């Protein structure tokens, strides 16, 4: 509720900043006091409209936030028939702990990520990427699903959705006002602000023009500072999604699956591979891992994978194998066609050409004699065993 109240406060700050810019556009010859008083009157006049608009936005976001997120990410509902493997893993976790089954969604993306959304039981949903399904094994997918179910159990998803609502509306109006600011231009005389519309101010003296121009500059700086302040406060709202919630979700996943190693290996595979193309920063805050780091990591809401794995090793008894390289990573591909595989695990399987997988034997022949280069002496017996 405090976060929602903060949304209204940020809206009023943005309205006041917009009123300052509008007053400068209308009249560039005023003083600082004139602009501040005029903007205050504008805020009072716009107060009921801003309140209604903010309340309407909250209602729309409450009922349609999932549609908005699906429109950005491309997530689609799936059934047991469409995704039996994924559906059964999620259903087993819910049954084992008596958790209501959330909706299951899949988004077509090569990224490795997942997130949970919803404000009540009827809206709860877990979305995973197709890349995650292709890359992770069943135990690792189960660990990721347990992570998202813990977010639902702990009530984190409500807080995250509110943050998405606040960050989205503040970002929208902030961009709108900055576009208005770019329409302002400092004229060649350096004495006043002007817009694309023509205005005549020949009646003012040079000294008045300088003072009024200085007042306009100060007011515009104040307006920009308020917009930046509103944006920073919206980032503080994101920081209200304490990083500890990710540690708690990892711990909850281990509690559900009893398998800390699966959670560790899942995090190692997801590490730096979770970027959702086209997704806003607000949506990325919902994910298991957010590879986008804030300025100097100050605004990052996700702890690093290393710190999360270290916590699982220390408190859950897991084993860390270190960063994992996947076959799809560009760094793992050979530089040319003549490159040799680095290990036996990367060797391609033999191509079967006959019923006994022997390239040199015709169909129906006896099985081949295995090559035992490291053993000496003749091979005896029908299967080439030593006697």
pLDDT, one tens digit per residue, over 271-294 is 989 998 877 777 788 899 988 765
Inform me whether the pLDDT recorded for 11 exceeds 70.
Answer: yes
Q: What's the confidence (pLDDT) of residue 180?
A: 59
Distance between CA atoms of 311 and 230, rounded to whole angstroms? 35
Instruction: Label residues 28-55 b or e (16+ Cβ within 10 Å = b).
Output: bbbbbeebbebbeebbeebeeebeeebe
Q: What's the confidence (pLDDT) of residue 327?
A: 76
Tell me: do 16 and 152 sit in the same domain. no
Crossing angle, helix 138-154 and helix 260-270, to 10 degrees?
90
How large is the average pLDDT for residues 319-326? 86
Note if 148 is an active site residue.
yes
Tell me: do 153 and 246 sit in the same domain. yes
Query: In terms of DSSP H, where are the helices of the chain?
Result: 2-26, 32-73, 84-97, 130-135, 138-154, 156-182, 206-239, 244-257, 260-270, 281-284, 305-316
Other C-beta atoms within 10 Å of 17: how many? Answer: 27
Whether residue 118 contacts residue 156, with contact meaning beta carbons closer than 8 Å, is answered with no
Tell me, yes or no, whether 322 lies in a domain. no
Tell me: do 228 and 95 sit in the same domain. no
Tell me, yes or no, whether 220 lies in a domain. yes
Inform me whether the pLDDT recorded for 12 exceeds 70.
Answer: yes
- Domain enclosing residue 273, as ranges: 75-157+242-316
Given 221, 239, 257, the domain boundary residue is: 239
Tell me: do 28 and 152 sit in the same domain. no
Tell me: do 53 and 103 sit in the same domain. no
Can you tell me whether residue 235 is helix, strand or coil? helix
Q: What's the confidence (pLDDT) of residue 238?
A: 65
Distance between CA atoms of 162 and 167, rounded to whole angstroms? 8
Count of domains for the chain: 2
154-202 tens-digit pLDDT:
888 888 777 777 666 776 666 666 665 665 544 434 444 444 444 444 4
Give residue 375's pLDDT band: very low, low, confident or very high (50, 70, 90). very low
Concatenating the DSSP letter of every residue in 268-336 gives HHHTT----TT--HHHHTTBS------GGGSS--S--HHHHHHHHHHHH------S---TTSGGGS-SS
96-114 tens-digit pLDDT:
888 889 999 999 999 999 9
Closest CA to 71 of 2, 168, 143, 5: 168
CATH of the domain at 89: 3.30.2010.10
Which among 148, 246, 271, 285 is annotated as catalytic?
Answer: 148
Closest CA to 118 of 159, 171, 87: 159
Tell me, yes or no, whether 196 lies in a domain. no
Indicate the range of 50-54, 181-185, 265-269 predicted with least confidence: 181-185
Inform me whether the pLDDT recorded for 295 exceeds 60.
Answer: no
């Amino acid at each position: 509720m405090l976060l929602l109240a903060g949304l209204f406060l940020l809206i009023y700050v943005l309205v006041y900043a917009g009123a300052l810019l509008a007053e400068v556009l209308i009249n560039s010859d005023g003083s600082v006091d004139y602009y501040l008083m005029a903007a205050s009157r504008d805020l009072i006049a716009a107060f009921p409209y801003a309140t209604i608009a903010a309340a309407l936005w909250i209602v729309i976001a409450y009922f349609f936030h999932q549609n908005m997120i699906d429109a950005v990410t491309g997530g689609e509902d799936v059934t047991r028939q469409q995704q039996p493997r994924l559906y059964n893993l999620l259903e087993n976790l819910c049954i084992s702990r008596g958790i209501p089954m959330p909706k299951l969604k899949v988004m077509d993306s090569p990224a490795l990520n997942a997130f949970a959304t919803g404000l009540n039981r009827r809206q709860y949903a877990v979305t995973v990427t197709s890349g995650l399904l292709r890359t992770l094994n069943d135990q690792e997918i189960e660990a990721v699903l347990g992570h998202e179910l813990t977010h639902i159990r702990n009530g984190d998803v409500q807080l995250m959705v509110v943050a998405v609502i606040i960050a989205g509306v503040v970002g929208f109006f902030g961009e709108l006002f900055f576009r208005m600011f770019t329409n302002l231009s400092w004229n060649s005389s350096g004495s006043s602000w002007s817009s694309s519309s023509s205005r005549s101010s020949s009646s003012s003296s040079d000294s008045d023009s300088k003072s009024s121009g200085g007042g306009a500059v100060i007011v515009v700086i104040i307006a920009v500072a308020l917009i930046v302040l509103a944006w920073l406060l919206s980032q503080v709202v994101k920081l209200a999604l304490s990083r500890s919630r990710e540690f708690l979700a990892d711990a909850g996943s281990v509690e559900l699956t009893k398998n800390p190693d699966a959670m560790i290996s899942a995090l190692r595979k997801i590490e730096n591979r979770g970027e959702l193309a086209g997704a806003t920063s607000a949506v990325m805050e919902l994910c298991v891992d957010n590879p986008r780091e804030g300025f100097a990591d100050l605004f990052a809401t996700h702890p690093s994978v290393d710190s999360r794995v270290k916590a699982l090793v220390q408190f859950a008894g897991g084993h860390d194998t270190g960063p994992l390289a996947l076959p799809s990573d560009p760094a793992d591909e050979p530089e040319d066609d003549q490159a040799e595989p680095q290990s036996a695990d990367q060797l391609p399987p033999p191509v079967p050409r006959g019923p006994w997988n022997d390239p040199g034997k015709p169909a129906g022949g006896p099985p081949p004699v295995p090559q035992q280069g490291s053993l000496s002496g003749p091979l005896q017996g029908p299967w080439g065993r030593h006697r």
